[in-house]
Amino acid sequence: MAPIAVGDSIPDGNVSFFDEKDELQTVSIHSLAAGKKVILFAVPGAFTPTCSMKHVPGFIEKAEELKAKGVDEIICISVNDPFVMKAWAKTYPDNKHVKFVADGSANYTKALGLELDLTDKGLGVRSKRYALLVEDLKVKVANIEAGGEFTVSGAEEIIKAL
């Protein structure tokens, strides 16, 4: 499948996360994004170096600025289970705006055409690193990284696009 691109509608699919009451929720991406301006950004894996030290912190640090520019939701997706995503989210005590969601079987990642096979590194199928700016389910910006890079998918690049 061709990767998601500017002008495309995002596919629907389910993701899981723990809510404020610590209850596991499974919801559709469309329920999180319909009628809103959202950032969907993905990382190859929770607790991995670039993801944990650069990608996620950038969105947490810039969240207020992104919100001021009209962003309703900032959603971090990873091909990990919701328990891992919950534990990872807890490592960012200052986070107020980034929602950590799990795409445990990579079904949503595959629907986007953004899977990354890291089987040779013992990680299985994961997600490419990317950041999408989506308005009412339509992709306005698609910053998709080449394997192993972190050059176009950070919060700064999305801010420039807003």
Q: Cα-atom radius of gyration of the chain, to the nearest Å?
A: 14
Catalytic residue check, 51:
yes
Buried b (16+ CB within 10 A) or exposed e, 115-137: bbebeeeeeeebbbbbbbbbbeb
Which one is catalytic: 29, 51, 66, 158? 51
CB 3 within 8 Å of CB 113 = yes
Give the residue numbers marked as catalytic.
Answer: 51
